[in-house]
Amino acid sequence: MSTLIRRTAPILRLKSCYSDLCSTRLLHSRSVGRRNGAPTGLYGFEHLKTAKGFQRFVDDAIERSAELVNFISEKPSSAEVIRAMDEISDTVCCVVDSAELCRQTHPEREFVEEADQASMRINEYLHYLNTNHTLYDVVKKAEQDSHLLSKEAHRAANHLCIDFEKGGIHLCPQKLDRVNQLNIDIFHLCREFSQNIITDPGRVDIFPASRIPKHIHHLLKPIYRITSGTSSESLRSWDNRKDKGFRITTEPRTLHSILQWTSDDEVRKMAYVKGNAVPHANHEVLDKLIAARHELSQIMGCRSYSDFMVKPNMASSPDVVMTFLLEMSQMIKPKADEEFKAIQDFKREKSGQRCVDLEPWDEAYYTAMMKSSAYNLDSSVVASYFPLPQCIEGLKMLVESLFGATFHSVPLAPGESWHPDVLKMSLHHPEEGDMGYLYLDLYSRASKYPGCANFAIKGGRRISESEYQLPVVALVCNFTGSHNSSTVRLNHGEVETLFHEFGHALHSLLSRTDYQHFSGTRVALDFAEMPSNLIEYYAWDYRVLRRFAQHYSTGEVIPEKLVESLQGARDMFAATELQRQIFYALVDQTLFGEQLDPSRDTSSIVADMKRQYTSWKHVEGTHWQIRFSHLINYGAGYYSYLYAKCFAATIWQKLCQEDPLSLTTGTALRTKLLQHGGAKDPADMLNDLVGDGILRHSNAGIVPDITSFSDEMKLVEDKRKQLAL
C-alpha cells in the first residue's frame, strides 16, 4: 500500500457553488473558543453546542447569504460585489466544512447524523446559488471593470465567472435543470461510494491463530470454533475443545499489515483477494457515477469529464495529462521490470522453487524482507526513535526554523472539542501575532475517518484594513494509541504521512489572501499537493531528523546510519511504487475520459491496463477500483500527485537541499508561494520561486520538468548503463 493511497483524502476538497470556495464561518457568528474558557460549541461555533444546532447553523447561513444576495442585486461597486460574494462563500462553506469534519470524526451518532443532514441541505442551497443569474450578471460586470479592482479582486471575479459557467448558468433552462439534477446525483453517489467502503470492508476468517504473526494480533478480532470430533457431551469442557482463530477485516491498514508480515502465502492470498473485491455494491455505484459525470460534461460542451475537470488546471487538457503520464510510464518501465525480476528471484530463492511465479500478494511481504535483509532494518527499532510527542516537536521545530513562528498549545473551551484526544495549537509570529489555529486529532478510534487528511474549518480572508480572519484547520490521522499513552510510536511511513498532512496545514495557516476564495489549498487541483510533497522531504533528511528523533527511553538521537538505511530501503523499489501511481492516474483518466465501450465493465478495463502499464499480473476476481476513494475525491485529477512529486523534487534540489532549515529558505517558500494560496497563477509562483527549469509548456498546457525527479530516481544514470551494455 503506497503512501499516497494511505492518505485516502489528502485535503478532502469539496466542489461547491464556486469551485473551491469552501471556507468556514459566518462573519456575524464569531468563534468564541479562545475566550477565557467560556462554553462554546464545536470548533468554537456557538450554534454547535448540541447536535441539533446544525439545523440553526444552516438556517443562519442561508439567511445571511440571502441578505448578501439582495445587497449584490442592488449593484454596488465592483469591489463591494466581489467582497460580498466572498462572504457568501465564506458563510455557506463554513457549514460545508464543519459538517464534513463532524461527519468524519465525531464519536456521537447524533452529531454525525445531524451533520450529514446539514451537509445535504447546504449543498442543495449551493445549487440555488449556482443558478442565480442576478449574481452571475453582476459578477460578470465586475470582472469587466478590471481597472476598478485590485489584481486579486479581478482574479477572484474571473474565477467566479468561470465557476458559475462550470455550474451551467449559461445553459437553457431545460439543460440547466438537468445539470442541477446530475450534480445532486453525483453528490449522493460519491457519498454512497465512500459509505460502502466503510460498511463493507471485507473479512476473512483464519484458523488456527498461529498462522498470524503475534505482533499484529492486536489488529484482528479473535474468533473460536469447536474442534472436529467434539461431542455434545464434551461441550461442558468448551475451553479445552475450542480452536482459536482470527477474523481479518480487510480495510487498507489491516490488509497492508497482513500482506507485509504474514509468511503463510495462502493467508496473504485470501486477504488480498477479499480486500480487493469489496464492496460489491460499488460496482453499480461507480458505473452510475461515471455515466452521470460523462453526461454532465457532455451537456457542458466537453468531450469528457476529464476534459471538464482538467481544463481549469495547469495541464489544461486530458491530452496533456495523458502525454505526461505515458512519458513517465515509458521512462520508469525498465527499472520497474528490473525490480520485479529481483523480487521474483528472491522469492524463488527463499521458497526453493525455481519456477514459482511472483503474485501480487507477495509484493509487500518479500520487499519488506529484502529491505530488512539489505539494510538490517527492524521496524520496532525505527519506531523507538519516533514517539509521537517528539514528532510533534519536530513539526514545531520545522516551523520555527523556516518561518520564525512558533506553535503554542491552546486550552480548549468547554464544548469546542469533539473528543478528549484532540489538541489545539496556535501559530504565532513574534512580529505578526497569531497566524492561525490547528486542531490535532491523531489517534484511531471506532467509526472515525479511516485515513489521514487535512480538513478546513476556517479560511483566511481580509475583513477590513485592521482585521484578518485567521485560518483554522484540523489535521486528522489514525495512529494507534491515545494521548494518554506514553507508548505511541510511529513507523517512518507514518512520520512521512504526518509531515505530508502538516504541509497542507501550513499552506492554509501561512496563507494571507484577501479572499477566502484563494485561501491556502484553494488552488488549481494539480498544484494543491505540491507543498505537502515538499514537506515530506523534511521527514527523510538527517539534518532535520536529528533535531527531534530521539529514543523514547534513552533520549539517544537517531543514528545517521539508521537514517541512511531508511533512505536506502525507500529507494530499493521506488520504480515499482512510481509505476503503481502512474497506473492509478491512467485508470482515473481512462474511466473519466471519453465514452467507455459499453460492452466492457470497469473491471476488465482496469485488468487490461494493469497488464499493459505495470510489471504485475491481474488477479481474477479482484476489482481494485471499487474501493479506490480517489476516484471520488480526485476524479480525473489523480495525476496531480505526480505533478506534485516532480515540482517538489525541483524545489527541493534547487532551493532547499543545501540548507533545508534556514530562515532564508523558509522566507522564500512563504513569500513567493505559500502566503499567496490561489491568489496568483501557479506557474508564475513556481517560476518566481526557483526560476527556469521547473515546468515546461506542452500543447497549450503546463507539465512539470522531470529532470530533478529523474535525477532523484537515478533514471538517467540507469539509462546510461543500459546504453553502455
Active site residues: 501
For 72, the 3-state DSSP assignment is helix
**Residue 437 near residue 423 (C-beta atoms within 8 A):** no
Compute the distance between CA of residue 309 and CA of residue 302 in angstroms, rounded to an integer: 10
For 476, the 3-state DSSP assignment is strand
**Residue 170 near residue 179 (C-beta atoms within 8 A):** no
**Beta pairing partners, 407:** 427
* Cβ-proximal residues to 642 (8 Å cutoff; 6+ apart), any chain: 324, 325, 328, 581, 582, 585
Q: Residue 633 region, left (φ>0) first, then alpha (ψ -120 to 50), else beta?
A: alpha
Q: Residue 693 region, left (φ>0) first, then alpha (ψ -120 to 50), else beta?
A: left
Q: In this structure, what DSSP letter does residue 559 have?
A: P
Compute the distance between CA of residue 473 and CA of residue 459 in angstroms, rounded to an integer: 8
**Residue 535 near residue 666 (C-beta atoms within 8 A):** no
CA-to-CA dists, residue 185 to 18, 148, 636, 651, angstroms: 18, 40, 18, 41
Residue whose C-alpha is closest to residue 29's, from 91, 82, 81: 91
**Residue 534 near residue 651 (C-beta atoms within 8 A):** yes
CB atoms within 10 A of CB 75: 14
Across 113-150, b (16+ Cβ under 10 Å) vs e yields: ebbbebbbbbbebbbebbbbeebbebbeebbeeeeebe
318-351 helix and 363-375 helix, angle to the nearest 10 degrees: 70
The type of residue at 224 is Y
Q: Which three cell numbers stand for residue 300?
A: 457542458
Residue whose C-alpha is closest to residue 407's, from 386, 389, 380: 389
Task: Return the H-helix or E-strand segment holding 487.
Answer: none
Q: In this structure, what DSSP letter does residue 658 have?
A: S
Q: Which three cell numbers stand for residue 445?
A: 478510534
For 226, the 3-state DSSP assignment is strand
Compute the distance between CA of residue 93 and CA of residue 87 in angstroms, rounded to an integer: 10
Residue whose C-alpha is closest to residue 457's, from 24, 150, 85: 24
Backbone angles phi, psi at 417, to 5 degrees: -90, 160
Compute the distance between CA of residue 406 and CA of residue 168 in angstroms, rounded to an integer: 45
Compute the distance between CA of residue 609 and CA of residue 586 in angstroms, rounded to an integer: 8
Residue whose C-alpha is closest to residue 179's, from 191, 170, 188, 190: 170
Torsion, Cα 56 59 63 65, to 10 degrees, reads 110
